[in-house]
């Protein structure tokens, strides 16, 4: 336990350092009509917890030695996130980074080989689904990073859930790595909880999405895994299904899919309940989805798919009421988030 306390403290130290660097070089997340905060906030705080994750993982695990291609893929995503925070990449430029990152995961042998029901996918189909899955989850995490502390808290619950599954599977290497992420995020939360002194930025959000997608395939795509592939979808219901519903709303209203708006679930709930209550509601929902995945992962897969469908419908209903009154389109000259 003392090791993870050190991880927590390291995250605090490096997050403080990144806040100072952000202020010194003017790296801020500036308010605009789409964003909720009113003042410029240092935006690369995510680098702080990522440094903590890397240092702790090097000393406590052999992850980066055993999974070289995974390490390269993660560094690609971190580089993408930093560039996006500094110069605001276009969504097409982001896709290039994410395509190569997902490709390295596929080449490492951890692509999406099956979607369940003992169906083994053709390598070409496996590659396509791996790319779509990784790109989707990476950007889904970025899209829900819209309230102080929200993505941090949801991610803590998500990686604790992964930790439980790695524990019951006796995968102690990934268990320790997952806990390194959890305690690094707890250290970051000290500065990210409302009212935030720093944001994690795209570098933090994209990296957490990549790690979640990676953990999903690590958990379900090995030959010895007892966890059905639909389980990570249930765990990640909020980012995945909120993103799908947001895209559906944009299409129905004839607005560009890849441009930002205020049609995400957290925007809709924020307009009704305010910041703290919205964070509490979504955190409780994440606990609910995580608990479902833990309690019912041994069910027949058809029932698990029905549960996932229920989660999808539930989140759609939650975000439907009068949501069309509070959206706006940023304009074609603004890059996506």
Share of residues in the chain with pLDDT > 90 (%):
80
Cα–Cα dist 98/117, whole Å? 28
- Highest mean pLDDT of the ranges 7-11, 218-222, 316-320: 7-11
Q: What is the DSSP letter of 324?
A: G
Nearest to 277 by CA among 152, 157, 150: 150
Residue 51 near residue 59, CB atoms below 8 Å:
no
Per-residue pLDDT averaged across 34-38, rounded?
A: 70
Model confidence, pTM: 0.93
* Per-residue pLDDT at 34: 67
The Cα–Cα gap between 130 and 324 comes to 33
Tens-digit pLDDT profile for residues 176-200 = 999 999 999 999 999 999 989 999 9
Confidence of residue 327 (pLDDT cuts 50, 70, 90): very low
Q: Which pLDDT band, with edges at 50, 70 and 90, does 309 fall under?
A: very high
Confidence of residue 263 (pLDDT cuts 50, 70, 90): confident
Q: Which residues pair with 120 in a beta bridge?
A: 114
H or E segment at 41? Answer: strand 41-42
pLDDT at position 45 is 95
Vertex 63, ends 62 and 69: CA angle to 5°?
130
Model confidence pLDDT, tens digit, residues 131-151: 999 999 999 999 999 899 999
The tokens describing 139, both together, are 């950007």
Q: What percent of the chain has pLDDT over 70?
A: 94
The confidence score (pLDDT) of residue 33 equals 64
Whole-angstrom distance, CA of residue 318 vs CA of residue 321: 7
pLDDT score of 236: 98
More confident residue, 204 or 336: 204
| pLDDT over 50 (residue 331) | no
Q: Is the pLDDT of residue 246 over 70?
A: yes
CA distance 208 to 205: 5
Mean pLDDT, residues 36-42 taken together: 82
List alpha helices for 39-149, DSSP H.
46-60, 63-66, 68-87, 91-105, 123-143
Positive/negative CA dihedral, 66, 72, 75, 76: negative
Say how far apart CA 173 and CA 106 lie, in whole Å. Answer: 20
Residues 6 or more apart whose Cβ sits within 8 Å of residue 274:
none
Q: Is the pLDDT of residue 89 over 70?
A: yes
pLDDT in the model for residue 323: 43
Both tokens of 299, joined, read 């069910």
Closest CA to 176 of 200, 184, 48, 237: 184
Rounded-to-integer distance, Cα 8 and Cα 288, Å: 26
Judge whether residue 261 has pLDDT over 90: no
pLDDT tens readout for residues 274-296: 999 999 999 999 999 999 999 99
Separation of alpha carbons 111 and 32, rounded Å: 39
What is the per-residue pLDDT for 251? 87
Concatenating the DSSP letter of every residue in 277-323 gives HHHHHHHHHHHHHHHHHHHHTTS-HHHHHHHHHHHHHHHHHHTTTTG
CA atoms within 13 A on the CB side of 8: 12
Coil, helix or strand at residue 42: strand
Q: Which residues neighbour 22 within 8 Å (Cβ) at sequence distance 6 or greater?
A: 28, 42, 43, 44, 45, 198
What number of other Cβ atoms are within 10 A of residue 66's Cβ?
10
CA-based nearest residue to 162, from 249, 238, 220, 115: 220
Average pLDDT for the chain: 91
Is 90 exceeded by the pLDDT of residue 52? yes
């Amino acid at each position: 336990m003392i090791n993870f306390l050190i991880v927590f403290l390291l995250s605090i130290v490096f997050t403080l350092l990144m806040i100072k660097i952000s202020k010194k070089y003017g790296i801020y997340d500036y308010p605009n009509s789409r964003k909720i905060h009113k003042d410029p906030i240092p935006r690369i705080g995510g680098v702080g917890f990522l440094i903590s994750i890397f240092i702790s993982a090097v000393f406590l695990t052999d992850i980066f030695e055993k999974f070289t291609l995974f390490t390269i893929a993660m560094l690609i995503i971190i580089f993408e996130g930093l560039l996006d925070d500094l110069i605001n990449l276009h969504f097409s430029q982001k896709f290039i980074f994410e395509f190569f990152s997902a490709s390295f995961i596929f080449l490492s042998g951890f692509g999406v080989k099956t979607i369940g029901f003992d169906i083994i996918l053709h390598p070409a189909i496996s590659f396509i689904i791996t790319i779509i899955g990784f790109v989707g989850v990476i950007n889904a995490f970025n899209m829900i990073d819209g309230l102080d502390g929200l993505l941090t808290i949801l991610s803590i619950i998500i990686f604790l859930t992964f930790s439980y599954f790695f524990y019951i599977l006796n995968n102690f290497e990934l268990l320790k790595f997952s806990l390194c992420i959890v305690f690094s995020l707890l250290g970051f939360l000290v500065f990210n909880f409302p009212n935030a002194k720093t944001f994690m930025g795209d570098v933090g959000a994209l990296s957490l999405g990549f790690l979640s997608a990676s953990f999903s395939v690590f958990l379900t795509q090995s030959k010895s895994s007892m966890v059905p592939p639909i389980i990570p979808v249930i765990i990640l219901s909020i980012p995945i299904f909120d993103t799908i519903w947001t895209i559906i709303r944009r299409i129905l209203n004839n607005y560009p899919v890849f441009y930002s708006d205020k049609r995400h679930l957290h925007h809709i709930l924020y307009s009704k309940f305010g910041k703290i209550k919205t964070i509490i509601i979504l955190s409780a929902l994440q606990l609910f989805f995580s608990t479902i995945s833990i309690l019912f992962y041994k069910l027949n897969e058809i029932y698990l798919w029905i549960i996932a469908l229920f989660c999808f419908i539930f989140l759609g209903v939650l975000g439907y009421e009068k949501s069309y009154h509070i959206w706006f389109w940023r304009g074609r000259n603004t890059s996506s988030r």
